[in-house]
DNA sequence: ACCACCAACCTTACGACGTAAGGCAACCAT
DNA sequence: ATGGTTGCCTTACGTCGTAAGGTTGGTGGT
């Protein structure tokens, strides 16, 4: 049939792209060999002609996303010339990384579970260190800066409290009586929520605006580093 | 026999304690219902009389560790009176949390995979917010501070680059020729490593002293918050 | 003393998972 | 034509979480 002739052979890239798409759509839990093969119109064992094992598949998936982040960084560097302040430059890179990570919420957990670090990540961090050194950072301070920034270069929405998005906002499933009990057990948190919830403009993520908080943290750390640099 | 009479019945607490011990010894990957049951001298299905499902087991495990961290915090508060500076107090709490997390390296990943947040974590964070408010923080700034501190209250050794400990230090398995190639591809990183590796005192975690870096990051953020508070 | 009851534990079985081993069909250079 | 290579499939094994139901030893009421 014509349909069969149209079908192009699999490749590592096609498999990895499908894996990322599947993880985006249904989470890493749904990313199983059989399911991925089904999405590709193929049997599970066929995947093993392009990838040696499932661990390699997962490695390839994080490698793909890391490449996406790295490409966004160098792309942004190209459009803006070399006339950027180091803080502006890193800020822009990390915010771009955040946009990508928001599309792949499973990425932090997956990256944490890998035994080896994708090579593209070294290159990406090398660029960041280069920016710091170019701005006059000592090796010592640049090193510390990397640790202090932690996962911000990857746009981590670590956000322990944000996964509440899955089950509706907090007050939806809490009865009024329980809320009173909570106010007693957690006086400071409830007071903070009460005063903060008034002037929230973006209720999509409950009462926390992830973008604003990310930028606050970023500027706090970048500001502290700038002070140490001088 | 006497041995049989000695055996005390299972309980949720005994199961959870055994689960934590097993995860500490062999990782979360080895934490399977059959294996856990075997460690307890029991069959797998017997565990379901104390826990409804494996997800509940994992929830209980993180709850156990969170309780451990919370207990360390209030215990430390008791021994030191209320005459602590807010920075000293939080610093001490977070460093204590770090010591606990170092004993449970699987905790970050596991916590990230939970759908619901353990209640003890709310109480723990409430205490932190209380400390901030008591030091004169506004609700707005206390809120931002929580986000900026991120996972530091849990002693996160997020440390993307630290899991290299599993496979020996970096230069062990890199041939000399590859190292030259790496120096070309990653000039800034290799230069940084070269100058930093000289005065490293604790080579256990490669060339990064996790404790020092953790404290640096902590003080950087606490210092930035102190400036905003005034 | 008896017996009904129940909590704690065990046995068996099912479907889904990752993957080892080998088969088959189409294509290519000779 | 032919023999090898490539790309995909079939079958099968052991392990996982867990549903369903069986066994047993101790307890309380009569």
- The pLDDT assigned to A166 comes to 43
Measured between CA atoms, the residue of chain A closest to residue B122 is A186
Say yes or no to pLDDT of A55 above 90: yes
What is the Cα–Cα distance from A219 to B105, expressed in whole angstroms? 29
pLDDT on residue B161: 60
CA of A51: nucleotide with nearest C1': C19
> Looking at strand C, which nucleotides approach a protein CB closer than 7 A?
7-12, 16-22
Mean pLDDT of chain A: 83
pLDDT value of residue B1: 38
pLDDT on residue B74: 86
Mean pLDDT (chain B, rounded): 83
- In B, which residues are within 8 Å of A214 by CB distance? 147
Least confident of A81-90, A94-103, A141-150, B37-46: A81-90
pLDDT in tens, A131-171: 999 999 999 899 999 989 988 888 876 665 654 444 444 55
For B142 and C15, how far is CA from C1' in angstroms? 50
Q: By CB neighbour count within 10 A (0-12 exposed, 13-18 middle, 19+ buried), where does B209 fall?
A: middle
Residues of B in contact with A112 (CB under 8 A): 108-109, 112, 158
Model confidence at A5: pLDDT above 50: no
- Length B173 CA → C13 C1' (Å): 47
- C-beta atoms of B160 and A224 within 8 A: no
Helix/strand/coil (H/E/C) assignment for every residue in B148-206 = HHCCHHHCCCCCCCHHHHHHCCHHHHCCHHHHHHHHHHCHHHHHHHHHHCCCCCCHHHC
Q: Considering only CB atoms, which chain B residues are within 8 Å of A126?
A: 185-189
The H or E element that residue B124 is part of is helix B119-134
State residue A21's pLDDT score. 97
Q: Which of B133, B166, B195 sits opposite A115 (nearest CB)?
A: B166
Protein B21 CA to nucleic acid D23 C1', in Å? Answer: 31
Does A203 score more than 80 pLDDT? no
Strand D nucleotides within 7 Å of a protein CB: 7-11, 15-21
Chain centre to alpha carbon of residue A181? 36
Q: Is the CB of B42 under 7 A from strand C?
A: yes
Q: Confidence band (pLDDT; 50, 70, 90) for A83?
A: confident
- Name the pLDDT band for B112 (thresholds 50, 70, 90): confident
> pLDDT value at position A207?
64
- Cα distance from B85 to chain A (closest Cα, Å)? 19
What string of DSSP letters covers chain A?
-HHHHHPPPP-HHHHHHHHHHHHHHH-GGG--HHHHHHHTTS-GGGGGGT-SSHHHHHHHHHHHHHHHHHHHHHHHHHHS-S---HHHHHHHHHHHHHHHHHH-TTHHHHHHH-SS--HHHHHHHHHHHHHHHHTT--HHHHHHHHHHHTTGGGT----TTGGGGGG--GGGGS-HHHHHHHHHHSHHHHHHHHHHSTT-S-GGGTT--HHHHHHHHHHHHHHHHHHHH-
Task: Output the distance from A47 CA to C16 C1' rounded to whole Å.
Answer: 18
Name the residue among B126, B147, B163 with its Cβ closest to that of A217.
Answer: B147
**pLDDT band at B82, cuts 50/70/90?**
low
Residue of B nearest to A111 (CA): B160
Angle between helices B86-103 and B54-79 (to 10 degrees): 140
Indicate the DSSP class of residue B8: P
pLDDT at A212: 81
Q: Which residues in chain B have Cβ-Cβ distances shorter than 8 Å to A116?
A: 167
B224 interaction partners in chain A (CB closer than 8 Å): 220-221, 223-224
Whole-angstrom distance, CA of residue A112 vs CA of residue A89: 26
Q: Considering CB atoms only, which of B140, B154, B188 is closest to A126?
A: B188
Least confident of A59-73, B16-30, B193-207: B193-207
Provide the whole-model pTM.
0.85
- B215 or B61: which leads in pLDDT: B61
Per-residue pLDDT, A1: 37
For testing contact with chain B, the best of A173, A189, A191 (most B CBs within 10 A): A189
- Least CB-CB distance to B213: which of A133, A147, A187? A147
Task: Specify the nucleotide whose C1' lies closest to residue B49 (CA).
Answer: C8
Residue matched to tokens 């209640």: B119
Percent of chain B whose pLDDT exceeds 70 = 80
What pLDDT score was predicted for residue B165? Answer: 44
Q: pLDDT by residue (tens digit) across B141-193?
A: 999 899 899 888 888 766 656 544 444 445 555 566 677 777 888 888 888 87
Could you tell me which residue, A76 or A186, shows the higher pLDDT?
A: A186
Average pLDDT of span A56-63: 96
The per-residue pLDDT for B180 is 78
Residue A18 tokens, joined: 């499908």
Residue nearest to nucleotide C10 (CA to C1'): B43
Question: Which residues on A lie below 8 Å from B109 (Cβ)?
Answer: 109, 112-113
Q: How confident is the model at residue A192 (pLDDT cuts 50, 70, 90)?
A: confident
Q: Report percent pLDDT > 90 for chain B.
A: 51
- Please answer yes or no on whether B192 and A164 come within 8 Å at the CB atom: no
A19: Cβ contacts below 8 Å, ≥ 6 apart: A31, A36, A57, A60, A61
């Amino acid at each position: 049939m014509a349909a069969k002739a149209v079908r192009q052979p699999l490749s590592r890239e096609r498999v990895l792209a499908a894996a990322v798409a599947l993880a985006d759509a249904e989470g890493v839990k749904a990313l199983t060999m059989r399911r991925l093969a089904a999405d590709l119109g193929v049997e599970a064992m066929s995947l093993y002609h392009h990838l040696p094992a499932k661990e390699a598949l997962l490695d390839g998936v994080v490698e793909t996303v890391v490449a996406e982040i790295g490409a966004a960084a160098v792309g942004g560097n190209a459009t803006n010339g070399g006339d950027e302040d180091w803080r502006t430059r890193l800020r822009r890179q990390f915010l771009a990384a955040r946009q990508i990570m928001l599309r792949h919420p499973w990425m932090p957990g997956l990256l944490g579970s890998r035994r080896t670090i994708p090579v593209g990540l070294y290159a990406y961090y090398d660029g960041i260190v280069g920016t710091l050194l170019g701005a006059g950072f000592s090796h010592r301070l640049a090193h510390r800066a990397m640790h202090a920034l932690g996962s911000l270069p990857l746009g981590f929405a670590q956000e322990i409290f944000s996964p509440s998005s899955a089950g509706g906002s907090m007050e939806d499933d809490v009865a009024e009586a329980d809320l009173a009990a909570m106010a007693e057990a957690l006086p400071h948190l409830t007071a903070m929520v009460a005063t903060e919830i008034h002037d929230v403009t973006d209720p999509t993520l409950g009462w926390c605006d992830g973008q604003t908080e990310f930028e606050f943290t970023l500027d706090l750390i970048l500001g502290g580093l700038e002070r140490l640099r001088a």
